[in-house]
């Protein structure tokens, strides 16, 4: 089962994961923003309306394993894969998880209306090509939702 670990603070994140960069979600003004947390920097970064949002409390995506998920190559405005992982909503529009290689690091962000927005320390990047997280079909399992 896929779930989000609620109430996470960056202070205790390192004790619960071996990953250095985690997929995270944060509720901002009623919108579910997808971003990433760098454990060593002690902050989660999110993009919203072209601005960088930094927070030290968020939810972490648990068990993003290869048997459960995979990454599919995607170009901005391509048709959305039917099994894209619906992670939440921004202004009632579905948001999915995307990743891109930025300055040598795989960084995560939200894909909304076919556009990936990834926050960095100072600005938001919207790459033309990236990867989108898709759910692998597991026999007998019900469909996943945010």
pLDDT digit string, tens, across residues 59-69: 888 765 667 88
Share of the chain above pLDDT 90, in %: 61
- pLDDT band at residue 125 under the 50/70/90 scheme: very high
Return the minimum-mean-pLDDT range out of 13-17, 20-24, 53-57, 139-143.
Answer: 13-17
Whole-number pLDDT of residue 101: 96
pTM of the model: 0.84
**Count of CB atoms within 10 A of residue 91's CB?**
10
Task: Report which of 83, 81, 85 is spatially closest to residue 34, judged by C-alpha positions.
Answer: 85
Mean pLDDT of 44-58: 94
Whole-number pLDDT of residue 20: 79
Share of the chain above pLDDT 70, in %: 78
Question: Scanning the structure block, which residue is given the tokens 């556009």?
Answer: 115
As a whole number of angstroms, the distance between CA 142 and CA 9 comes to 30
114 by Cβ neighbours in 10 Å (0-12 / 13-18 / 19+) ranks as: middle
Task: Report which of 119, 103, 114 is spatially closest to residue 34, judged by C-alpha positions.
Answer: 119
Q: Which residues contact 16 (CB under 8 A, 6 or more apart)?
A: 5, 8, 60
CB 60 within 8 A of CB 27: no
Strands annotated E in 92-128: 93-102, 105-112, 115-119, 124-125
pLDDT(15) > 50:
no
Two structure tokens written together for 86? 């619906």
Whole-number pLDDT of residue 38: 85
- pLDDT band at residue 13 under the 50/70/90 scheme: low
CB 76 within 8 A of CB 129: yes
């Amino acid at each position: 089962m896929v779930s989000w670990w609620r109430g996470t603070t960056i202070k205790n994140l390192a004790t619960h994961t071996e990953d250095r960069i985690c997929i995270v979600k944060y509720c901002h003004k009623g919108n579910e923003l997808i971003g990433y947390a760098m454990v060593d920097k002690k902050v989660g970064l999110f993009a919203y309306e072209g601005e960088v949002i930094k927070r030290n409390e968020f939810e972490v995506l648990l068990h993003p394993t290869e048997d459960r998920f995979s990454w599919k190559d995607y170009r901005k405005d391509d048709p959305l894969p039917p099994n894209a992982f619906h992670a939440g909503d921004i202004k009632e529009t579905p948001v999915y998880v995307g990743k891109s290689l930025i300055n040598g690091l795989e960084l995560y962000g939200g894909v909304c209306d076919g556009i990936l927005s990834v926050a960095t320390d100072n600005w938001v990047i919207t790459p033309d090509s990236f990867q989108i997280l898709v759910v692998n079909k597991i026999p007998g399992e019900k469909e996943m939702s945010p």
